[in-house]
Amino acid sequence: MMKKTLIIGASPNPDRYSYMATEMLVAYGHEVYPFGLRAGKIGSVHIETIWPIDQSFDTVTLYVGSGNQDVYWQKMIDLKPKRVIFNPGTENSAFFEALNKNGIVAIEACTLVMLRTGQY
């Protein structure tokens, strides 16, 4: 089942996990919206620099460290995704709790592993 996914922290650097996750999500048939601070491309997909105000997402996968997440808290809650994946290095217990209090499932996991093991 296709899950529209917002990738926060998208990078055009092929060595970054956000790049790998975007490619793998596309390969597995998911619609993606890679969001980053700088424009670029991941394969044939453009990295967006404008926050997706009027879109809905099943999943948000996070590739931004906890020290840089504050600006996204309310924006992500307002999007009302079904779940947010905190990839390794992005763990944030306060944000995790805020999402849960707003009815959004927050999980600490690796998007790449979830895709490979059929848990996505």
Q: Could you tell me the CATH number of the domain that includes residue 70?
A: 3.40.50.720
Domain that holds residue 111: 5-116
Distance CA 89, CA 5 (A): 19
pLDDT tens track of the chain, all 120 residues? Answer: 899 999 999 999 999 999 999 999 999 999 999 999 999 999 999 999 999 988 999 999 999 999 999 999 999 999 999 999 999 999 999 999 999 999 999 999 999 999 999 999
Per-residue pLDDT at 42 = 97
What would the DSSP string read from start to end of 33-95? Answer: EEE-SS-EEETTEEEB-S--TT---SEEEE-S-GGG-GGGHHHHHHH--SEEEE-TT---HHH
Per-residue pLDDT at 92 = 95
Residue (of 12, 13, 16) closest to 111 by Cα position: 16
Indicate the pTM of the whole model. Answer: 0.95
Distance CA 82, CA 7 (A): 14
